[in-house]
Structure 1
Amino acid sequence: MYRFLLTRQWVILTLLTLVLIPTMVELGFWQLHRHQHRVAQNSLISQNLKADPVPVARITSPGHTVPRADYWRAVTATGTFDTAHEVVVRRRTSDDDRIGFHVLTPLDLKGGGTVLVNRGWIPTAASQQTFPKVPAAPRGEVTVAGRLKADETTGSSGIKDLAGLPDRQVMLINSSQQSQLLSRPVLGGYIEQTSPEPTDGTPEPIASPDDSSIGPHMAYAVQWWLFAAGVPVGWVILVRREKRDRLEAVKQAAAQDEAAEQPEPATAWKAAETTSRTYRSA
């Protein structure tokens, strides 16, 4: 009855079904893990942004790798901006998705040491080879508040670190690279400045990270699991339909054979008449 399952097309279909079920289940768990990661990240952002600011030198040092637990930590730093060694970071977007630069300025700390400060976004110059017009940083001693961020790498950011860039232009915000250019130690990570705010609105301050949206990952996980449950159901429906079609085909063939074996009415009458004549002659 189910011997058709051994045919080539049904073997392929069954194997495909067996592959799809665990694949879809795994995709569902992948989306679930992304959802859990997003929820944990939102919690971390909220916790660190609401925490009391601490001096940046207290939680990082030269060569230090900022741990994930300190991402977006509210920090302060007091010192003097070193605008002579200011650089711009290429291919950065504003809050409304315009392409431009981030302004990266070293801050020489009052107690010694240097920390990088991302002062915000500015538009590109007329030419990519030209250093853009950068709004002046505050002069004299200043206290900067902001969010602590980890050094960028190609692996963590997906941004390729290009060589041969114009003078004072970089692709990544990386304390080790800037330490080599400055020829002095630089604290690991950098500060994403939130205050003091620029008087004329430029550089444009970087918006706070989103700590409320959880994205569609949980819905995608449920969707993949429903697909995984639907695959065997669909396979059973197809099998039953194939069985029904084959039974109907067998019944139709049997009916046609039976009709073919019955003599036509005219032929049967002639045969009866011939038999009757033969009998009378005898």
Structure 2
Amino acid sequence: MYRFLLTPRWLALHVVVLLVIPAFVFLGRWQFGRYEERSSSSHQTTANMSAAPVPLEGLVPPGAPMRAHDRYRPVTVTGTFDAGAQLLVRRRVQDTRVGFYVLTPLRTADGVGVLVNRGWVKAGATADAPPEVPPPSTGEVTVTGRLQPSETEETTGIRNRPGLPPGQVLLINTESVGRGLPYKLLDGYVELTGQQPQAQAAPAPVPAPDVGGGGGLNLAYGVQWWLFIGIAIGGWILLIRREAADLRAEAAKGEKETVDA
């Protein structure tokens, strides 16, 4: 009755099922791995953002690289804005609108600089029109903000290119920006959340990251891929049983016709 399982058509189906099952196992495990990775990152981000602000140079001493696990840590730094070295970071979207981040170096009393993302401004009326940018505060200020690592093409997916208008960049990269400054920059940059004394006018603040998901979508996808394994096996068995039932029905019909004849 089950000799049909050795026919070419059924052998091909067996091969497909045997290939699909390990593929679904791999995809499910990969999604679970992504879930664990993103959940861990989400917990780290939440813990960092809820920490008390600390002096920036305590986390990023001059000449030392910023540590990846310090991202989003609230920091404070005191100095004066270098308005002449201010840059606009192109192609930044906020509230579904394309605009610029306003990147202004803050020079400390120790003579080192810190890149400060003061916030977002909307693009000009045309592609060539410069945006309206509130000037930075004059005099000494104390900035509070979220610590961020330097951006690269690999971490952002933004392709850097030359030929931009003067005073504009595509990436907030400490190394490349620092080449045009007469003082050293601390690694990373600060995403401004507060300033004392407060500025009379300021760009729109960059919103805090949304960490609520925590990889939940990856968990759902992982479960989905493993459910597909059960569906594939169940469908395979169902097809075999249906084929066997059809063959039995044909055999019974043939026997009946023979008896009637």
**Same fold judged by TM-score > 0.5?**
yes
Moved more, 175-184 or 249-258: 249-258
Which residue matches 1:43?
43
Closer/same/farther in 2, CA of residues 167 and 62 from structure 1, 3 Å limit: farther
Which residue matches 2:225?
224
In the alignment, is residue 237 of structure 1 matched against residue 247 of structure 2?
A: no
- Rounded to whole Å, the distance in 2 between the matches of 1:221 and 1:42 is 18
- Aligned length, in residue pairs: 258
- TM-score w.r.t. the length of structure 1 is 0.85
Which residue matches 2:137?
138
**1:86/1:168 contact within 8 Å kept:** yes
What is the SS of the residue equivalent to 2:185?
coil
Which structure's residues are more often strand, by fraction?
A: 2
Closer/same/farther in 2, CA of residues 141 and 234 from structure 1, 3 Å limit: same
User: Identity percentage over the alignment?
Assistant: 41
In the TM superposition, residue 199 of structure 1 has moved relative to its aligned partner by 4.1
What is the SS of the residue equivalent to 2:162?
coil
Segments of structure 2 that go 5 or more residues without pairing to the other structure are none
In the TM superposition, residue 250 of structure 1 has moved relative to its aligned partner by 2.5
Closer/same/farther in 2, CA of residues 7 and 183 from structure 1, 3 Å limit: farther
In the alignment, is residue 84 of structure 1 matched against residue 104 of structure 2?
A: no
Q: What are the equivalent positions in structure 2 for 1:259-270 lying under 5 Å apart?
A: 259=260, 262=261
- TM-score w.r.t. the length of structure 2 is 0.92
Segments of structure 1 that go 5 or more residues without pairing to the other structure are 263-282
In the TM superposition, residue 13 of structure 1 has moved relative to its aligned partner by 1.5
Which residue matches 1:151?
150
**2:111/2:183 contact within 8 Å kept:** no
In the TM superposition, residue 191 of structure 1 has moved relative to its aligned partner by 0.3
What do the CA deviations read for 1:220-255 (whole angstroms, capped 9, x no partner)?
Answer: 221211111221121111111111112212232343
In the TM superposition, residue 198 of structure 1 has moved relative to its aligned partner by 4.8
Which residue matches 2:252?
251
- Rounded to whole Å, the distance in 1 between the matches of 2:64 and 2:151 is 13
In the alignment, is residue 213 of structure 1 matched against residue 184 of structure 2?
A: no
Runs of 4+ that moved beyond 6 A: none
Which residue matches 2:167?
168
**1:64/1:189 contact within 8 Å kept:** no
What is the SS of the residue equivalent to 1:145?
strand
What is the SS of the residue equivalent to 2:111?
coil
**1:60/1:66 contact within 8 Å kept:** yes
Compute the RMSD of aligned alpha carbons. Answer: 1.8
- Rounded to whole Å, the distance in 2 between the matches of 1:154 and 1:61 is 25
What is the SS of the residue equivalent to 1:112?
coil
Select the structure of larger CA radius of gyration: 1
- Rounded to whole Å, the distance in 2 between the matches of 1:41 and 1:244 is 53
**1:131/1:168 contact within 8 Å kept:** no
- Rounded to whole Å, the distance in 2 between the matches of 1:231 and 1:108 is 63
In the alignment, is residue 21 of structure 1 matched against residue 21 of structure 2?
A: yes
- Rounded to whole Å, the distance in 1 between the matches of 2:253 and 2:65 is 78
Which residue matches 1:5?
5
What one-letter code is carried by the residue in structure 1 that aligns with 2:118? R
